[in-house]
């Protein structure tokens, strides 16, 4: 989530180069030490020759503009969320990712041939360990997932087990009820019919077409069509939200000085109530680039003191889910942003590898 070039130009026009350097210096210092920054300390750190008095005047101006605040009368200044937003959009240049870190993230691909759920769990753990913050990854969202195949297995005379496999490797199992007894041979015919009609279509498209009964050759498949619509309507229900995988370093977060003491407690609560992240997931899926939600921008109650760095992962230019890191607003954005971005790319490549392997197995099975 960033500013447009026009918005950046307007902001930069209101803050001259010297003031920007002072602001950047304050933010860099605060990211490193989590301590309020004074003018005398900053004058020794900056690579420009400015006296403490000049810096103090600039800090007053930045405070008036809403970029700095003073926690105590005798203390130095600390950046506001507005300052971090300006820093991310206009000042910070993401660090290049060291080969060692790239190699650690590339371990994700070692799980490419396993189940997607295992892949997501592994990725969550690796990213949490690398960033030392909380990592959250959403499973592929059903609506945007594409069908690989569907199978129906008779449980008893009235119940059928649906096995739904998507191109991304996500497997969904559910029991549905039939209004009449169905043989396994007939269920196989229904599955074959649906697989043929909707191969590679998104689950949302399939459900829409089934509900509208938009299937060709209705006369030939009269009985089959009727059951396909009935079973398909239940099989492709998309009400349940995607699974959320979370892992994190709560202990590390305790070392950060949050403006609100209850922030870490709120983080733990969000960690337990994973559905609170769904709005962030939806916003990430709608974007085509890395997203950064600072403070109140994340719209998660209790996390106004935190930032989220997210990126979408997907398959064949189709964004399926979200990779994200939650940490304090004073996180090292220049380090975290490339880690999240690279992780999303490796995860996408691993899912593509999984999909191609599954395609091969499916073709051989047929």
- Span 143-235 CATH architecture: 2-Layer Sandwich (3.30)
In 201-317, the DSSP E strands lie at 244-247, 291-294, 306-315
CATH 1.10.3720.10 fits 5-91, yes or no: no
Do 143-235 and 99-138+243-365 have the same topology in CATH?
no
DSSP 317: T
Q: What is the pLDDT along the chain (366 residues), one digit of tens a residue?
A: 444 554 544 455 578 889 999 999 999 999 998 889 999 989 988 888 899 999 999 999 999 999 999 887 767 899 999 999 999 987 656 667 888 899 989 888 765 445 788 889 889 999 999 998 888 898 888 777 888 889 999 998 889 999 988 888 778 888 888 888 888 998 998 899 889 888 878 888 888 887 775 445 455 456 666 777 777 777 777 667 778 888 876 666 666 656 555 666 666 666 566 566 777 888 888 877 889 999 888 777 777 788 999 999 988 888 889 999 988 899 999 999 999 999 999 999 888 877 665 554 444 444
CA distance between the termini of the chain: 45
Residues 72, 313 contacting (CB under 8 angstroms): no
Cβ partners under 8 Å of residue 246, min gap 6: 124, 134, 135, 136, 137, 271, 274
Please state the domain extents for the chain. Answer: 5-91, 99-138+243-365, 143-235
Distance CA 100, CA 118 (A): 23
CATH 3.30.450.40 fits 99-138+243-365, yes or no: yes
Distance CA 75, CA 65 (A): 19
User: Which H helix or E strand runs over 173?
Assistant: strand 171-177
Residues 344, 123 contacting (CB under 8 angstroms): no
């Amino acid at each position: 989530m960033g500013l447009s070039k026009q918005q950046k130009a307007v902001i930069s026009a209101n803050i001259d180069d010297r003031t920007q350097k002072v602001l950047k210096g304050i933010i860099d210092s605060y990211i490193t030490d989590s301590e309020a920054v004074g003018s005398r300390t900053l004058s020794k750190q900056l690579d420009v020759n400015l006296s403490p008095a000049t810096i103090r005047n600039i800090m007053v101006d930045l405070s008036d503009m809403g970029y700095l605040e003073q926690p105590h009368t005798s203390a130095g200044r600390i950046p506001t969320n507005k300052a971090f937003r300006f820093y991310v959009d206009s000042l910070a240049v993401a660090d290049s990712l060291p080969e060692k870190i790239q190699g650690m993230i590339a371990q994700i691909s070692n799980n490419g041939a396993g189940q997607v759920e295992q892949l997501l769990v592994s990725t969550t753990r690796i990213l949490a360990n690398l960033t030392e913050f909380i990592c959250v990854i959403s499973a592929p969202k059903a609506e945007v997932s594409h069908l690989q195949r569907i199978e129906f297995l008779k449980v008893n005379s009235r119940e059928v087990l649906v096995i739904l496999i998507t191109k991304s490797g996500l497997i969904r199992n559910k029991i549905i009820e039939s209004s009449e007894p169905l043989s396994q041979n007939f269920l196989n015919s229904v599955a074959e019919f649906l697989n043929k009609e909707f191969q590679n279509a998104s689950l949302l498209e399939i459900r829409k077409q089934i509900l509208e009964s938009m299937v060709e050759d209705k006369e030939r498949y009269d009985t089959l069509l009727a059951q396909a619509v009935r079973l398909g309507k239940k099989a492709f229900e998309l009400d349940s939200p995607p699974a959320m995988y979370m892992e994190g370093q709560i202990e590390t977060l305790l070392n950060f000085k949050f403006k609100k003491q209850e922030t870490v407690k709120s983080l733990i609560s969000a960690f337990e109530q994973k559905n609170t992240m769904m709005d962030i997931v939806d916003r990430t899926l709608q974007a085509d680039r890395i997203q950064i939600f600072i403070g109140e921008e994340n719209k998660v109650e209790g996390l106004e003191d935190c930032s989220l760095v997210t990126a979408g992962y997907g398959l064949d230019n189709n964004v399926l889910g979200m990779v994200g890191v939650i940490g304090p607003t004073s996180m090292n954005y220049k380090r975290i942003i490339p880690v999240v971005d690279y992780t999303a790319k490796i995860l996408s490549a691993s899912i593509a590898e999984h999909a191609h392997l599954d395609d091969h197995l499916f073709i051989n099975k047929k």
